[in-house]
Each structure stands twice: as structure tokens, then as C-alpha cells.
Structure 1
Amino acid sequence: MITKSTATAEFHGGRSRVAALAWGQQATWDVMRGWPHEDRSFFTLTRWLPVPLLLGLGEVLEQISELVRRHESLRTLYHPTHRGEATQEVLASGAVTVEVFDRPAEDPVDFATIVNDCIARMKATGFDHDKELPVRFSVATHEGIPVLLMFGVSHLSADHMSTDLLSAELTALLKARADGTAAPAARQALQPVDLATMEHSPEGQLCNVEAMRYLRQQLDRLAPGLVPVRAVPSSPRFFRAELESDAIPVAVRAAARRYRSTTSVVLLSITTALVRCFCPGPVYPLDIMQSNRVAPELFATVSSLNQAVRTAVDLAAGSFGEVLCQSESVMAAARRHSRYDGRAAKEVVRTVASSRGTEFEPGFQFNDMWSTVAKSAAGPAGGLAELDRLTETTTFDWPQKTDSEGMAIFLDTRGTPERINLSLMADTALLPPEDIRAFLFAFERIAIVLATSDITFTQIEELFAEHRTHAGNRSGS
């Protein structure tokens, strides 16, 4: 029988500070406040990792303490103000409670079940940010010996890249302790309070002014009717499909080398080329999510840094090569204007919508997280035969259906260097289920073609139509 107990990981020696939220934190705070309380599991990011053999529970707790001490975002309370904003209070010392689940010998429960249960519990209850530190830890032990460590962190304190950084750092701390070597030094990075201070400086305000100028330029190009209604919507209205592929990573890296570009630009170019199949143009509205880690001092920052840049993307290119050139310019502009005051941006959108007499319709979002890990894979791409062989492991699923979303289309990429996960959430009034499925399978085939040769828009349209036909009546299953 699994037994549950609790332990305490104390932290000391940090700085105690109070400040306003940084822009990325403020954007997350605003979204969380408007999100249905019962569905806030989205805002808890979780990871799990093995514990090296021979470490005792006390030694594991010491490494948890060290991780929390290093990162101010993990020892921060968020206090709401009467104006609907929040302040962040960094604690100099304190403690986090760690749940411990011990499996005795001969118990039939496997550790995968324990991990899944722990992660589900972490996500089941939202953080009380005013009173609770924004991180939770659990340890699975076997006869008292630590085997696995799980943690969940609030999206207010970490984005997905931050969570990966925490996982890697905690793994390194545990390994050093097990090996009897010195703990790896903390990486130099801006803490959230320092970032908020910079954003409120004249330099930060100039950055915001330039971002608002760019936003107005893009809004001026977004006329009504750019996102058509093409079908009677399903019920629930929004479907999310996921395609996992071993072929796309190899193909996209090969295409990026052929075109002397980046994987993110190639992924955006394929997306734009497919949008031409169902949007009339001349542009389509796209929010490009940016990780905001282009400055060295932000590479290792643990905070909620992601912000989306609203963009009017042209659909009038004459060739796929022109789409690639356009995507490079679009991504560069998005990087330049990706840090801004989200509330100021909302006011700009409200003012422009009021002046033109119509609200802006929900657009698309492109969030490429896979390219942040893509560079760690090496080796030349295989030929078409090898890429076709890799498609034998491609999987497809419908993991979510919901009645309401804030965008017409969300396209996310994530995964490992060897395997990509393409996630497409779409309004079925724009993309019926068979079109959602066709979009993802055509995406894979386009990437494969680009690995070794150019592609025409006619070929892309034919691939999209071909996969719509293949979907048939299976699309909504």
C-alpha cells in the first residue's frame, strides 16, 4: 500500500523584495483572472525526473532548497491590488512542503502510476498566489529510497522554457550530489524584479512605444472578413488535433539548410502556405508567440516571458521561396517588438476598433517551441525513401474538444529533437474536422518535399485536398 507523508525543504539567504509585475507576468496574470476557475490546470506546468541512486530523502530536499533559493520566481507571492493588478513579493527565507509517496516492496502499483497521480494532483488545484509559493514538489520513494521527483510550477512564475531550465538544473544538482562533486554554479540571469525595474525605466518605455507603433501599423492592415466562415460548426465548436512525427524534424532541418534559413522560419512558411488554401487574403491575422530570450541576460531567466506579437502576414507571394523571405522578415520584426506592456496593447486595439466601428475578429496564433530544442540534433537528412520510412511512426489523435477559444486557430510545435508534436486547435466553422486533419498531414508531406526540392502552391493545394479526401468520415472520431 502506498503511504503518503510530507517533508519540508527550507530556503535561506536570498533577497527580500517587492515590485510591480514584469510585462510577461502581467499578461499571464490578466489571462488567469479571466480564465474559468475549473480549467486553471492549464496554468500549472509540470515535469518529472529520476533521482540518482544512493541519495537519501534529506539530500533530495537539500537540492530542492537550493533550486528555490537560486530562483526568486519560485519564492514569490503575488498580491492583488484594488485596481486588478498585482505586486510580487520575493521572500528571503521560508519553506516548501514536499509530498512523499512511498511504495513498499512487492506493492503492485508501478511508479508510472504514482507519477501520473502526482502530476494530476498538482494540476487539480490552482495556486493561491497571495499565500502559497508558486511551486509544488513530490518525491516517489521505494522502501524510503528516493526514485523519482515531480514538480509543478505556476505559469505566473515560469513559462515552458523556464520549466525545462528548472528540470535540467535540478537534475544537475542531484547528479553532482550523488557524484560527490561541487554543485554547478547558478547561471547568471535577470530575476523578474530586475526585469520589471528595467521595463519601467526610460529604456523600457521606449521599447514599449516602438512596440505600440508596430502594433498600430499591423492593425491598419487587418480589415474585417479575413477569417472566413467555411462550414457549419461542430459541437463542441473547437477541435484540437495532434500529429507526432519523426519525419518532420529531419525534413525541416534539411529544408532550413537548403534555404540557408532557420527551422522556425520554415515552419512558419509551411503554415502560411497552407493558410492560402482556405483564407482569401490579402493578409491573415497572426499572433506570433515569442520566447523573449534573445538577450544573453534573459537566456536563463525563470519567469513568464512569452508574449505574442500581432502581425498581418501577406498571402500574395508568388512562390514558396518568396514566402520564406517574407517569413524571415516577419519573424525578425516580431523579435524586435515582442516585449511590451500588454495593457497598453489592449488599449491600442480598443481605440483602433472603436475608430473603425468594428471589433477585430479572432485570428491565428503560431507558437514554435520545438525549434528551441531542434538544434541539439545533428546529422544530415536522409533521402525521400528514409523520410517516407520515418512516417511509419507518425501518430494522430484528437485530445481535446471545447466550446470556446480566443483564437480561430492555434498552431503549437513542441517535442524533442527527434520527434515533433504539431498541435492544431481550430474553429470548425473555419476548418471542419477533416480539414484540421488534412492540415497536419499535408504539413508533414510539405516538409518532406522541401527537404530535397522546392514546392509550388499548386502542389500544396493538391496535398491539402488529397488529405481531406483521405480523412473521410474518420475525421470527427
Structure 2
Amino acid sequence: MAEFVRHRIPFEGRRAVTAPATCAQRHIWNLMQGQLPDAAFYDVCYWTALPGHGAVQDLLDVLAELLGRHESLRTGFHRGPDGPLLQQVVDSGEFEAEVWSLTRDEDPDSVLRAWRGRMRHTPFEPARAPLIRFLVTAVDGAPVLAGFCVSHLVADLTSLRLLADEVPRLLDARVTGSPLPPAVPSRQPVEQAWFEHSPRGRALLARARGYWERARASAPATLFPPRGGAGDTAVPVRYSAVMDSRAVGLAVPLLARRWRVSTSAVLITVVARLLGRRAGVPSCALRLLSANRSDPELRGTVANLHTEVIVTIGLEGDRVEDVARRAFAACTTAYANALHDPDEVAELIASAHGPGRPVDLSYCFNDVREGHVLPGAAEDRDTVPDAACLRAAMADTVVAPGEFEEGETFFLVVDDEEPGWIRLVLDAEHRALTPSEVHGFLYDVEKALVEYAGASEEAGGVGSRATVA
């Protein structure tokens, strides 16, 4: 029978230091304050499968090595005497690891699900580093899975992917007695804070503020005008659904090549056109989530570098590929201005007013796929799906209620957990979309992509005037 032991494992790092919080850390801190008392809302769980060799102690040693290497994992946060948020790196301490011992007949995934459920209701105290906990599952004494639960203050999704890649390599070295592979040279959050206070950093923040002012000025007041009537009080406050679509997975790269844009731009174009048509507005403003790792010094950084940035997309014109190219250019500019002062941007948004009400920018698009760049120009005509193939793939689509929850009016996530498929997860407030409308919106995205791709294929790649969105 599965049983667990909760361990307290010591760790050591190279330095203890206190510094101002970075822009990204302050951004998440502000979001967390708005979510209180649910202090665990912005905690994130991730995991990686392991090959099942070595001993549990080998893996615990590896986890301690992670905290020694990555300062963000041993950082706490508190307000300074004059009010600003500070990050405080500690040089030693203990972390928690829950170690489960299973037999070959028991399911590690069920242990992971139960642990994730408990972590969802076990908040961290921001001032008490480290803001990370671990799960270890072992079968017949050998670790087969490592799970991470971390505060978003100290790690973003890219960081968790870096950790999930680092753990098996470190474990292999530990088990074989080889030297541990060195940490990737990268800028730590303390140095990022000093960079943001440098002349170059202040210039980038000033440029970003100017970008936000222009993008906000061209944004529509809202994408979901108030509905008539009192509304249905039986409808849940929020609802999310998940679509797994092979048809979308086929259509998106085809359209990206034909329109000469990234696959992410294809998806955001269709989403923006659907939202714009629903609201009857000539432009759509969405918030993009940025990993902020274009600087080579940040590529290997394990930390929270995540911020959000507005993009306003003009929807005028008959040809959808023209809208897609404008969207691609607009998103590229937005990402270049993703590093910004969150308090300044909050003031800009609060001061923006449309006809009698504030401008609503509570619409997010988050493409979390690792590869969504511009596809290569080469195209094998024998492997390009035709219109009939695309329509047939729609029969495999599954849409079901989801568990994803965010604090925005409209939040769409794009993922690709299974090769050849694309997953769309949509969470929306019921005042914007009812549960049936959430399902309908996801199906509309798929239908639009398939019809655009089919029209392009039937026209031999020539631009289409399709009007499905």
C-alpha cells in the first residue's frame, strides 16, 4: 500500500543578499494581492518522469543542488521600511519533500493528482524562503517522478520546464558517479533588478510606457458589452472548457506557411476576429503573456520573468491573411515592450476611460507551446492536408469541461501536449460567455481555421476572402 514520509532537506547556496524586487516579481505580487485570501491561487505545479534508477536519496540530493544553483528558489519577499517590495535570497535552509513509496501495481499518477490537490490549498508564506515544495514517487525504491509546487513569485512556466530538463541530467550524473553537469550561466533575479535600475533598464521601461499609452489609446472600450436583463443567477460565476483538436493541429502550421506568420499569430488572428465580430468593433485588444527571455543572459534563468503586455490588432479588410500579418507585426512589437513597470501600467489602465466606463483590458491570450515560431518555407505537397482531410479531422475533436481558472473576463491558453494535436483551454466569466458559449467559441475557432485552410488549399495557396470570422 502506498505510503509517504515528509522530509525536511537542508540546502546551501553561495550568497545571501537583499535587493529590490524585479518588475516581473512586482507584477505577480500585485496579482496575488488582488486574489487574496486565496494565497495559493498563483502557486504552480509541474512534474517530470524519471527513468527509475538510483535511490530516493540521489534525487533528494539533486533537489538540494537545484536550490543551491538557482537563487530564485531560495528567495522570499517582504515590504521594506519605506514600502517597496524586496527580494531576499537566503544562503541556507531546509525545503520540504513528500516521498511516496509505491509497488509496481500502484499508480504514480494518482499520487501526483492527490498531491496537486493538496498543494492547491496549501499556500506559501511569501517572506519564508524557499517558496518551493517537492513530490518524489518511488517504485520499489527507485524514483520514477519528481513534482514541483512553486510560488509564481519565484518561477514561471519556462523555469519549470528548465528544472524538469535539469533534474534527469543531474540524477543520471549522481547515479553513475559522473561530475554534475554545470549550471547554465544566466542572470539571477538580483542582477535583473539592478539591470532594471540601470540607465539602459530605465530607458527600456520608459519605452514600454510609451508603447502602453499608444496601445491603450487604440483599444476598444470592451469586447463584451453588458447583456440586457438581470442575467441567470444559476449560471456559475466562471466556466472553463478544454478542446483537443487534431484539425487545429493540421490547419495552424499550414496557414502559418501560407500567410508567412508564426503559428501563434494564426491563432490570435482567428480569436481576435471572432471577438471583434461579436463586439462589433474594428479592433481587438488582448493581453499577451511574455516569458521575457530574448536577452541571451536570461535564456537559462530559473526565476519569474513573466509579464503581460497589451496588443491591439486592427481587424479591417477582407483578406484574413492581411489581418494575420498585422497581428504578427503587432505582437512582435508588443513582446519587444513586455518589460514594463507594473505599477505605472496599472495607473495607465485605471486612468483609461471609454464612454462612461473604464477601458476593459481583461482579455488574455497565452500560447504556452515551446515551438510556435514562423514555420520553415519548405513544404512537402504530399503531406499537406487537403480540405477533405481537415474536415474529416474535426470528427476527432473533443470538448469537455475544464478545471483551469483565472481571474480575467476571458483567458485562452494554447498548448500542444500531444504531437499533432492542439489544445485550447478557455476560461471566461459568465457575464461574458455562458458555458454553452464557451464551448461554441472553441468550436468556432476550429471551424474558422479549417475553413481558412481549406479555402487556401483549394485556391492553391492564393489569399482567401473567407468570412467565417
Give yes or no for TM over 0.5: yes
Deviation digits for residues 409-452 of structure 1, max 9, x if unmatched? 21111233533221122233333433322221121232233445
User: Does 2:382 align with 1:382?
Assistant: no
Task: List per-residue Cα deviations over 1:225-265 (Å, max 9, x = no partner).
Answer: 55423465442243222111233223211211222221111
- State the match for 1:310 in structure 2: 310
SS of 2:302's equivalent in the other structure is: coil
**Corresponding position of 2:330:** 330
* Cα contact 2:257–2:374 (8 A) shared by 1: no
CA distance in 2 between counterparts of 1:450 and 1:431 reads: 25
CA contact 2:222–2:359 (8 Å) conserved in 1: no
Determine whether 1:187 maps to 2:184: yes
Change (3 A) 1:360 1:374: closer
Q: CA deviation at 1:179?
A: 4.7
Residue 2 (str. 1) matches residue 5 (str. 2): no
* Match in the other structure for 2:122: 125
Is 1:265 the counterpart of 2:277? The answer is no
- Correspondence for 1:393: 396
Decide whether aligned partners of structure 1 residues 351 and 375 sit closer, same or farther in structure 2, where only a CA change above 3 A counts.
closer
* RMSD value, Cα: 2.9
- Picking from 437, 440, 443, the partner of 2:442 is 440
**1:156 counterpart = 2:157:** no
- Match of 2:440, SS? helix
Which residue number corresponds to residue 459 of structure 2?
none
Report the CA distance between 1:73 and its aligned residue.
0.6
How does the TM-score come out when normalised to structure 1?
0.86
Q: Deviations over 1:175-231 (max 9, x none)?
A: 333455443321122111111110011111111111111111122223545542346
Distance in 2 between residues matched to 1:387 and 1:185, nearest whole Å = 46
Partner in structure 2 of residue 134 of structure 1: 131
**Cα displacement (A) at 1:385:** 4.0
Distance 1:152 1:225, change over 3 A: closer
Q: Is the 8 A contact 2:188 2:301 kept in 1?
A: yes
For 1:458 and 1:341, locate their aligned partners in 2 and report how far apart those are by CA, in whole Å: 41
For residue 466 of structure 1, what is the aligned residue in structure 2?
none
How many aligned positions are there? 455
SS in 2 for 1:37: coil
The answer to whether the Cα contact below 8 Å between 1:52 and 1:175 also exists between their aligned partners in 2 is: no
Structure 1 letter corresponding to 2:247 = A
Instruction: Report the AA paired with residue 146 of structure 1.
Output: P
CA–CA distance in structure 2, aligned partners of residues 188 and 426 of structure 1: 40
Partners of 2:261 and 2:374 within 8 A in 1: no
Counterpart residue identity of residue 241, structure 1: A
Aligned amino acid, residue 444 of structure 2 = A
Summarize the Cα distance change of 1:95–1:433 in structure 2 as closer, same or farther, 3 Å threshold.
closer
Q: Percent identity between the aligned chains?
A: 28
Q: CA deviation at 1:460?
A: 0.8
Taking the aligned partners of 2:241 and 2:310, their CA distance within structure 1 comes to 24
Distance 1:383 1:210, change over 3 A: same
Tell me, yes or no, if the aligned pair for 2:261 and 2:325 is still in contact at 8 Å. Answer: no
Q: Distance in 1 between matches of 2:175 and 2:6?
A: 23
CA offset at residue 144 of structure 1?
Answer: 3.4
Q: Does residue 422 in structure 1 map to residue 424 in structure 2?
A: yes
SS for the counterpart of 1:460 is coil
Letter in 2 for 1:395: V
Instruction: Note the C-alpha offset of 1:400.
Output: 5.0
Shift of 1:271: 1.2
In structure 2, the CA distance between the partners of 1:217 and 1:54, relative to structure 1 (3 Å rule), is: closer
Distance 2:347 2:161 in 1: 33
Which amino acid is 2:88 matched to? E
Question: Which letter maps to 2:333?
Answer: A
**CA deviation after TM superposition for structure 1 residue 389, in Å:** 4.4
Q: Is the partner of 2:359 in helix, strand or coil? A: coil
Unaligned segments of structure 2, at least 5 residues: 457-462
Report the counterpart of residue 460 of structure 1 in structure 2: 468
Distance 1:31 1:131 in 2: 19
Q: Which residue of 2 aligns with 1:473?
A: none
The answer to whether residue 107 in structure 2 is matched with residue 110 in structure 1 is yes
Please give the per-residue CA displacement for 1:310-353, whole angstroms capped at 9, x wherever unaligned. Answer: 23322323320210121022112101211011001112233444
Match of 2:12 in 1: 12
Any idea what SS the aligned residue of 1:278 has?
helix
The verdict on how the C-alpha distance between 1:187 and 1:452 changes in structure 2, with shifts beyond 3 A counting, is: farther
Cα distance in 2, alignment partners of residues 280 and 373 from structure 1: 29
Structure 1 249/223 Cα, relative in aligned 2: closer, same or farther at 3 Å? closer
SS in 1 for 2:278: coil
Distance 2:426 2:297 in 1: 33
Residues 220 and 284, structure 2, Cα contact 8 Å, conserved in 1:
no
Which residue of structure 2 aligns with residue 228 of structure 1? 225
Distance in 1 between residues matched to 2:23 and 2:66, nearest whole Å: 24
> Residue in 2 aligned with 1:169?
166
| Residue segments in structure 1 that go unaligned for 5+ positions in a row | 462-477
CA displacement at 1:92 relative to structure 2: 2.0
